Structure 1
Amino acid sequence: MLVEIHVSPRPSGTPEQKYAHVDAAIAVIAASGLTYEVHALGTVIEGPPDRIWSLVRDVHEATFAAGADSTMTTIRLAQGKDDAGPTIADLVTKFRA
C-alpha cells in the first residue's frame, strides 16, 4: 500500500523552529522503518496496510505531542488487490536523473 500524508498543524512549529510540529510527524515516519520519501507538500510511505493505517494515526497525533494546537491531516491511499500495488520506485524512478 502507498499513502501520501500531509499534516497541517497550527502553528506549524515554534518561533525558534518554524516547522517543529511537522518535523515531529516526519520523525514518527522515519522511526517506523517503512520506505518513505519526504516531498515539499507531503510524504509518501509504502508498506503493509496494517502498518500504514496505524502509522497514519501516529503521525497525526505526533503533531499534538510536539505542541500543535490543532492539526488537519490529508491522506491519499493506493492499494492493489492482494496488496500487489505499485511501489514508490515503480512510480518515480523513470523521472529521476
Structure 2
Amino acid sequence: MAHPSSSHSRLFRASLLALPLLLGGAAWAQQPPPAASAAAPAADPGRHMLAEIQVIPRPVGTADDRYKHVDAAIAVIQASGLRYEVHGLGTVVEGPPEKIWPLLQAVHEATLQAGAERTLSIIKVSGGAQAGGPRVEDLVRKFRN
C-alpha cells in the first residue's frame, strides 16, 4: 500500500500541471512573458496606496539578537521616507504605488540579506484607480485612545 502522503503529492503535482490549462490553455502557458517597458510608468501625484507587510523569516533572529531578521525588514521601511506604523503582527506603510511596490520587495529581501534561511511575506495592498484614497489615520482615528 502506498504511503498516504505520496498520493497527495501526486495529486498536488497533477493539479500544478493542469493549472496552465485552467488559466487559458496550453498556448497561454507557452507564451513568453511580456517585454519590460523601457520607461517606468509616470508617477501620478494624486495616487495613494496602503500596504501591510508581515515578514516571517526562519529563523526570526539569532541567539544574540532575537528579532534580527525582522528588524532588518523594518529598517528598510524606516529608511524609505514613507509614512509607516509598526504593529505587533506587521507594518503598515502608505504612499505612492511606484514607491510602495519596490519597497515591499526590498523588505522581503532584507530578511534574507540579514541572514534568514528563508522568509514568507504576507502582504495586503489597498489602492484605487482614482487620486486620493484612505490614509491610515483616516481608518483608525476613532479607535485610538
**Structures share fold, TM-score greater than 0.5:** yes
User: What aligned pairs does 1:1-97 form with structure 2 within 5 A after superposition?
Assistant: 1-97=49-145
Provide the identity percentage: 60
Higher relative contact order (CA 8 A, sep 6+): 1
Indicate if the aligned counterparts of 1:80 and 1:86 stay in contact, CA closer than 8 A.
no
TM-score, normalized by length of structure 2? Answer: 0.65
Q: CA deviation at 1:93?
A: 1.1
Indicate if the aligned counterparts of 1:6 and 1:73 stay in contact, CA closer than 8 A.
yes
Provide Cα deviations, 1:18-65, integer angstroms capped at 9, x if missing partner: 110000000000000000000010000000001000000000000011
TM-score, normalized by length of structure 1? Answer: 0.97
Distance in 2 of aligned mates of 1:17 and 1:84? 40
Q: Secondary structure at the match of 1:85?
A: coil
Q: Secondary structure at the match of 1:43?
A: strand
Answer 1 or 2: which has greater strand percent.
Answer: 1
Q: For the structure 1 residues 64 and 57, does the alpha-carbon distance in structure 2 shift closer, same or farther, using more than 3 Å as the test? A: same
Please tell me whether Structure 1 or Structure 2 has the larger radius of gyration of its CA atoms. Answer: 2
Q: For the structure 1 residues 54 and 83, does the alpha-carbon distance in structure 2 shift closer, same or farther, using more than 3 Å as the test? A: farther
Q: Secondary structure at the match of 2:119?
A: strand
Aligned residues: 97
Indicate if the aligned counterparts of 1:2 and 1:77 stay in contact, CA closer than 8 A.
yes
CA RMSD between the two structures: 0.8
